[in-house]
Amino acid sequence: MTIQEELNATIRELVQAGKGILAADESHPTIAKRFKAVGVESSEENRREYRSLMLNTQELGDYISGVILFEETLGQKSDDGKPLPSVSASNGVIPGIKVDKGKGPMVNAPGDEITEGLDGLAQRLEQYKTLGARFAKWRNVYHITDNNPGIAAIEANAEVLARYAAICQSCGIVPIVEPEVLIDGSHTIERSADVNEAVISEVFRALRRHRVELETMILKPSMVTPGNANGKKASPEEVAEHTLRVFRRVVPAAVPGINFLSGGQTPEEATLNLNAINSGASQPWVLSFSYGRALQEPAQKAWAGISSNKSAAQAALLKRAKLNSLATLGRYSTDMEG
C-alpha cells in the first residue's frame, strides 16, 4: 500500500458511525494516580494485566474502532504470549500510540504550557508502525484564567501540533490532533467557548500552513463547558449548543471526525453531553468520543487489581462503550444506566 492508501484505509476504519476511540495511553504518573484511586500499585505487571484485560474484552470492536496506547503497552504481551497490539487488532480495534513527550511550562508565558516531543518523531513513528500502530495522538493543554492562554502559547502550541500531524501523515500514520482546553477553573461556559474558538481556529491555520491533509486526521477537542469550580452547571443542551456553535465556526467540513475527550466529566455526564450533541440537526463531521476516564473509571473500580474481577471489569468497560456508542447516534437515555 502507498502512504496515501494507508491513511485512507485507517481513517475509514477509525471514523465509523456508532464507534468511538478508547484512550488507554496514560503516562506512568497518570496511570499511577488512577490505580491509586482503586488501591492498586502501578507496577509494570499490573499495568500489563489491566490493559490486557481491556484489549481482550469480547465485542469491544462493536463500539470501539481504535485504542490509543502508551509506548510501554505496544511492547507488552497478553497472558497467552500474543503482543497486545495484535490482540487489539484481532478484536477489531485498531492500535494507536501516544507520541508526545508531555507538557511543561512555556518560557516567558506565565501560566501557559507547551508540549514537547518533535525531535526524532519520524524515526519513532517508523518503529511504532512495525509494532502495529496505525494512528497517533499528540495532546496540547491550555489553561483558562483571566490571562491564559496567551497569544504566544496559542500560536506555539498550534505550530507544534501541525508539525506533529504533518510528520505523522508523511509516515502513513493518521494523526489525532488534541488541543485540550482544560476544565479546571471558575470560568463561564461563554469564556470556554471563546478560548476554544481562538485555540482551534489557530490550530487549523497552522495545519493549513503545514499542508496537513484534513481528510485523514481526527480532531480531539474538549467539549465547551463551564469550569469545574464555576458552581453553575450547564445542561447537556447548553453544552451541545455552545460546543456545536464553536465547531461550526472553526472546523472545516473536510475533517471526517471529531472525537471528544472527557476531561474530568463523570462517565454519565460525558455520555449525556455527547448524546445531546448528536440529538439535533446532522453536522458535517462524525461526532464521537475518545474518552479515557469516562470509559475506564467503572472498569478500574470493578477490577481493583484482583484477577478474578476480570469479567466484571470487562463488562463495565463494554457497558460504557455501548452507551457512548448509542450517544453518538443520539439514542442514549439515562434509564439505560440500570
Catalytic residues: 178, 220
Q: Which of 70, 78, 75, 86 is nearest to 28 (CA)?
A: 70
Reduce the secondary structure of 155-223 to three states and give it as a string. HHHHHHHHHHHHHHHHCCCEEEEEEEECCCCCCCHHHHHHHHHHHHHHHHHHHHHCCCCHHHCEECCCC
Cβ distance to ligand 13P smaller for residue 154 or 261? 261
Beta bridge partners of 291: 22
The whole-angstrom separation of Cα 328 and Cα 30 is 27
DSSP state of 240: H
Determine whether 275 is exposed, middle or buried from the number of CB atoms within 10 Å of its CB (0-12, 13-18, 19+): buried
Least distance (Å) from ligand 13P to the CB of residue 328? 15
Cβ distance to ligand 13P smaller for residue 6 or 222? 222
The whole-angstrom separation of Cα 175 and Cα 157 is 15
Least distance (Å) from ligand 13P to the CB of residue 67? 11
Least distance (Å) from ligand 13P to the CB of residue 270? 7
Residue nearest to ligand 13P (CB): 292
Determine whether 231 is exposed, middle or buried from the number of CB atoms within 10 Å of its CB (0-12, 13-18, 19+): exposed
Least distance (Å) from ligand 13P to the CB of residue 158? 17
Cβ distance to ligand 13P smaller for residue 6 or 160? 160
Distances in Å between the Cα of 214 and the Cα atoms of 100, 197, 219, 233, 251 are: 20, 18, 9, 34, 10
Beta bridge partners of 139: 178
Beta bridge partners of 175: 136
Q: Which residues bind ligand 13P (CB under 6 A)?
A: 23, 139, 178, 261-263, 291-294
Cβ distance to ligand 13P smaller for residue 6 or 288? 288
Least distance (Å) from ligand 13P to the CB of residue 207? 19
Three cell numbers written together for 140:
496540547
Residues whose CB falls within 8 Å of the CB of residue 27, separated by 6 or more in sequence, listed in order: 70, 98, 102
Q: Which helix (H) or strand (E) holds 104?
A: strand 103-105
Least distance (Å) from ligand 13P to the CB of residue 274? 11
Distances in Å between the Cα of 60 and the Cα atoms of 53, 93, 136 are: 11, 8, 20
3-7-12 Cα angle (round to 5): 150
Least distance (Å) from ligand 13P to the CB of residue 294? 5
Distances in Å between the Cα of 149 and the Cα atoms of 101, 109, 180, 316 are: 21, 9, 12, 37
Cβ distance to ligand 13P smaller for residue 223 or 302? 223
Cβ distance to ligand 13P smaller for residue 6 or 85? 85
Cβ distance to ligand 13P smaller for residue 6 or 94? 94
